[in-house]
Chain A
């Protein structure tokens, strides 16, 4: 499982997170109502090594 940040080029702003898991790609919006985004935040807090990079 891997996370990468998505930057919207129009707004030049990070607006979402890609999750790569089990041959599936998910796009997760940065919304605290979204369970997958809350899981991503927990992942970032779990270890200082858990830092997602931006997509190319």
Chain B
């Protein structure tokens, strides 16, 4: 027992004392919190600790879409879409995906997935929406040890379909999996779901900047990659056997937002972050800068020779790993007249290390006076792109 402090609408405050040394706080006779020799606990006895950073998912509220700015895309086999989310379909063009403003109360955005046909899913086909979580961010879960922690996945979901849907957790090597299910009861209605999963005590789970944990939601899964729900097993299974297939109904829709993966046995309220905080978390994995101005200066540099320009790009947050640099459109270096030159053949250097705070960029140019300073900018091309990706 415990000393109980209860507040209700009949008696106001009531104190029931005992000698256990424990204290329970009740509302209307229902325990809401406890104080014991172990510290502050919730009603089910789990420790109440700091909630900051509780969500292992980045961009759970689907607000950040640096790559596509809300435009619809047709993913292929492993296309990054909204920030940190990867979509996968190994039969071409069976669904489209975009950021949506359709959202439940308290959220501004969701991801909207639309089936383009009534596709019969073959045994070896996969249709997925997923997030890969960095090992550093799930190290505290102690997966692969006897101390493995229970986690709870919670999310808001809405679909034109009803029934039992599936997903799965996997490790980076895809040799450990836990298929799970969730049920959508009403069509075209936002419903909040939660799934609680005991930690995996075996297998290899990275705790570094490598891929620590995969969270997969199935949009259609072949039998080869479907497994028994509710248990850890070896192998690569990405959904539960028998789960509803979104891509099998032409025009079917599937929306999700408020995705949260947290330690513990209960789903707590979604961890709302300020926009800038969420963007910074995304930028560890993908950085780009709008070139909406015709001539937008991106970084300073200098002409190392008559054919080589070198600049240094300082990043808002350290990158997970050495990035891939992707450049499109027209670019130029701009220095003292007449040293404005077309820039091409971009490469990045200072690589092969993690947590990069800046990247050296080199470009081919043709100028007359080496040694002068020059900035890099888009060349009257508002559709030009300059992207650094250190995604998985």
What residues make up the interface of A, taking CB atoms closer than 8 Å to B?
6, 8, 15-16, 19, 23-31, 33-37, 55
Contacts and interface: CB of A to CB of B under 8 A. Distances in A.
B321 A26 contact: no
Interface string B318-332: 001111111110000
Interface of B: 209-210, 320-328, 345-349, 351-352, 354, 385, 389-392
Nearest to A38: B392
A5 B326 CA distance: 15
B352 A31 contact: yes
A20 B204 CA distance: 35
Question: Which 4 residue pairs across A and B have the least CB separation, nearest first?
Answer: A33-B321, A29-B351, A31-B322, A26-B326
Contacts of A33: 209-210, 320-322, 352, 354, 390
Given A23-B328, A25-B328, A35 B352 contact: no
B324 A24 contact: no
B323 A29 contact: yes
A31 B320 CA distance: 12
B348 to A, nearest CB: 6
7 contacts: A24-B385, A25-B326, A29-B322, A29-B324, A29-B348, A33-B390, A34-B323
A35 B326 CA distance: 14
A28 B324 contact: yes
A42 to B, nearest CB: 12
Contact of A27 (B210, B320, B325): B325
A15 B325 CA distance: 14
A34 B348 contact: no
Contacts of B326: 24-27
Given A6-B347, A35-B392, A27 B324 contact: yes
Given A25-B326, A27-B346, 6 more contacts: A16-B347, A31-B351, A31-B352, A33-B390, A34-B322, A35-B324
